[in-house]
Every structure is written in C-alpha cells, then in structure tokens.
Amino acid sequence: MDSKLPGTGTTIFAVMSALSEECDAINLSQGFPSFNPSQDLLDRITHYLNSGANQYAPMPGVPSLRHAIAAKVEQLYGRTIDAELEVTVSDGATEGLFSAIHAVVRAGDEVIVFDPAYDSYEPAVTLAGGTTTHLPLVFPDEDADFQIDWNRLEDAIGPKTRLIILNFPHNPTGAILSPADIERLADIVRDTSIYLISDEVYEHIIFDKADHQSLLRNDELWERSFIISSFGKTYHATGWKVGYCVAPPVLTAEFRKIHQWTCYAVITPIQLAIADYMQDTPHHYVELPVFYEQKRDRFCELVRDSRFDYQPAKGTFFQLLDYSNITDEDDVAYARRLTREIGVASIPISVFCEKPPPGRKLRFCFAKDDQILEEAASRLCQL
C-alpha cells in the first residue's frame, strides 16, 4: 500500500519497551512510573464505576473536571478561563496534540518544532498536509542549559509558518523556559498570525524551586495558544490516557470540531474521579515537584561514580546521561546493547532529531521505586 506516513516506523517507546521485556531488563526507557496512583483516587474511580457512570461523557468533558481544570489554571497561572468555552478533556495529551495540530494546519503550511522533538508531532503535521521544520535546541556546554536559539527561530519564520510547537518542561532533555524566554517568544510572534501549541504535560514536574512558565501566564501568547496537558504524568496513571486542551474560545471551537471525530468523549468514571481528587487534594501539585526532585537527586547520586556525564534535569522525570567517555557507538546501537548486555533499557535521543545531536546521550526515566533505580544504577556503574 502507498503509505501516508512512509517515513514512520513503530515509535521508539514501543520498540525499547518490547526489547526490555524480551531481555527481562529494567525498563527505564518509556516514561511511566513503577508506582500506583493514590488509593483515594482509585477508590473514587471504583465508586463511579459502581454508581452507573458508565455511559458517554459530554463531548468536551464532564463539567466538574472542566471546572476543576479552570480552577487550577487560575490558581497556578493567574488566568481566569471559561470552563464551558475554553477547556476540553482529551484522550491523553496525544489526542489533544493531534486535534490541535489538525485544527490549525492546512495543506502547504509549515510547522516549527524544536529537536529533540517528541515523536507524535511530525506525523500529525504530515497527515494534515503540512511540513515540519526542525530547529535544534542549543545543546549545553558546562554552564549553559538546553535552550531555544531565538535568533534561529526568528530566521526560520516565513510566510507559510502557521504553527510553532513548544514542549517545556522538555522531554527528553528536562529543559525549562525562563520568563525571558517567554518575552522573547512574544516579541517574535507579535506581528504574525502564527499559532502556538504548548505541550505542558510535565507542568508539575519542575525542580530547584523554578516556576513553570506556562504560556497561560502571558496575555499575548494565550490568545494564539493551545495548552495541552496530561493527567497521566501528574497522577502516576499514564495508562488512563486522560489529558486536556485549554485554548481561547475561537481556538477551542475549532479544536472540538476535530476532537469530536477523533475521540468524541473520554472515559466517564475516570474524569469524574479526577475532578473530585483535584478538588480534594490541591496540595498534590505542590508535593509532586519535591517527590520527583528527590528521585532525580537519588538517581544522579547513584550514577555519580559511573563513567557517564550529566547535568541534572531541570524538569520532567527523565535524566540524560552522556556516554562519550565509554564508547563512540551511535546511541540507538548503544541503547540496544545496554538493554541486552546489562539489562537496563533507555531511550536514544537521536530518534527525536532530524540531524544527529551533539554528544552521545541516552534518556533514563527515574519515575521508579528506589530499589529499581539502585539496581539499574549499580549496573550502569559497572561500565
């Protein structure tokens, strides 16, 4: 068959998780916690399952959840949003991203992403008839972080540029945005008709007391933005695939036109349970960064005496380790070899890049119980 996505194979997450299983390895590749959501949240789901909440939810999401999302947005980012007109619950962030991309991208449009770029963006752009321009993030030297090259972005924008997709805290590098970055972005798009998608699925996993620079904080950027998030990352429940899109009314109306045909509505009892839980435990957002910062610190401490180099991640539950001191093998080959030979699965980051990135880095997920991290690190330290 003449494929619509000829360059697309199986996502690296599925490939590395399958290899990990085959080798009975410790799976630090795909980004999912080894621990469960809170028992209170699970009990709320059981409650709704047993009280008849088993039919279609409203297409944009159950009202209680949309209101809880609006309350959170106001509390954390200072923006008052309309739960009826500006919030849509999606089938994970993945469907939210797909629907937002299809809401704006037309045949011939150009979309800018930053490499390493999460791998669901480009196929959605291609299916919408657009083309993707990959701009590499600046890779850090000793005292700089991964960051957007704003001059390069300015140069890359042309008459066909329709959309820029951002993802901060950033998977896989753990980079975050500063308030100065937000100002620079606002300057660059000010006199254009470019839309923005901000993939903020790690909005609550940010370290060292930094504040998450959501595009929701900025009046100008908000007007042209779709903010996508995911409860999977926040509540240790990636398997539920429940996320959401927040966007101004005109953008939300277009988003819903796509959402109603890609998904229609999201699982009812889980939406109702998350709404209750958000209301009952607002401190969850405050505690989550601390919880994951301890995991990051633990993992970094455990690999400190290894031959890997690293800069501690600023956010997300991923840590990059640079293996340049160990081998000059390419990262895909090395990630496979590590899985087979020492039983630790990771993700090579070149698969998220159009051109090979500088250095030799693998991504390790530290959303795992301590004994799993300890065992994985002891194997990595033997190299």
In the complex, the smallest distance separating the C-beta of residue 324 from ligand PLP, rounded to whole angstroms, is 25
> Dmax over Cα atoms in the chain, in whole Å?
58
Contact between 214 and ligand PLP (CB under 6 A)? Answer: no
Residue in 37, 243, 315, 357 binding ligand PLP, rule: CB under 6 A? 243
Q: Please tell me whether the peptide bond between 116 and the residue prior to it is cis, using omega within 30 degrees of 0.
A: yes
Tokens 């001059």 locate to 151
Backbone angles phi, psi at 172, to 5 degrees: -105, 0
Residue in 25, 29, 31, 266 binding ligand PLP, rule: CB under 6 A? 31
Contact between 230 and ligand PLP (CB under 6 A)? Answer: yes
- Strands 243-246, 87-90: pairing is antiparallel
Choose the binding region for ligand PLP from 64-72, 127-135, 236-244, 302-310 (rule: CB under 6 A): 236-244
Beta carbon nearer to ligand PLP, 134 or 241: 241
Distance, CA of 171 to CA of 31 (rounded, Å): 10
CA proximity to 65, closest of 90, 47, 31? 90
Residue ranges in 95-134 that form contacts with ligand PLP under rule CB under 6 A: 118
Number of residues that bind ligand PLP (CB under 6 A): 14
Contact between 167 and ligand PLP (CB under 6 A)? Answer: yes
Q: Residue 82: which H helix or E strand, with range?
A: none
Distance, CA of 133 to CA of 286 (rounded, Å): 36
Choose the binding region for ligand PLP from 53-61, 237-245, 282-290, 341-349 (rule: CB under 6 A): 237-245
Distance, CA of 125 to CA of 112 (rounded, Å): 10
Contact between 234 and ligand PLP (CB under 6 A)? Answer: no
The strands making up 131-136's β-sheet, listed across from edge to edge, are 87-90, 243-246, 225-230, 195-199, 161-167, 110-115, 131-136
Residue in 29, 171, 214, 225 binding ligand PLP, rule: CB under 6 A? 171
Beta carbon nearer to ligand PLP, 90 or 339: 90
CA proximity to 92, closest of 225, 204, 255, 241? 241
Beta carbon nearer to ligand PLP, 168 or 302: 168
Residue ranges in 79-98 that form contacts with ligand PLP under rule CB under 6 A: 92-94
In the complex, the smallest distance separating the C-beta of residue 94 from ligand PLP, rounded to whole angstroms, is 3
Residue number of the CB atom closest to ligand PLP: 92
In the complex, the smallest distance separating the C-beta of residue 178 from ligand PLP, rounded to whole angstroms, is 19
In the complex, the smallest distance separating the C-beta of residue 41 from ligand PLP, rounded to whole angstroms, is 16
* DSSP character string of 241-254: --EEEE--HHHHHH
Contact between 241 and ligand PLP (CB under 6 A)? Answer: yes
Contact between 199 and ligand PLP (CB under 6 A)? Answer: yes
Provide the 3-class DSSP secondary structure of residue 33.
coil
Contacts with ligand PLP, residue ranges (CB under 6 A): 31, 92-94, 118, 167, 171, 199, 201, 230, 232, 238, 241, 243
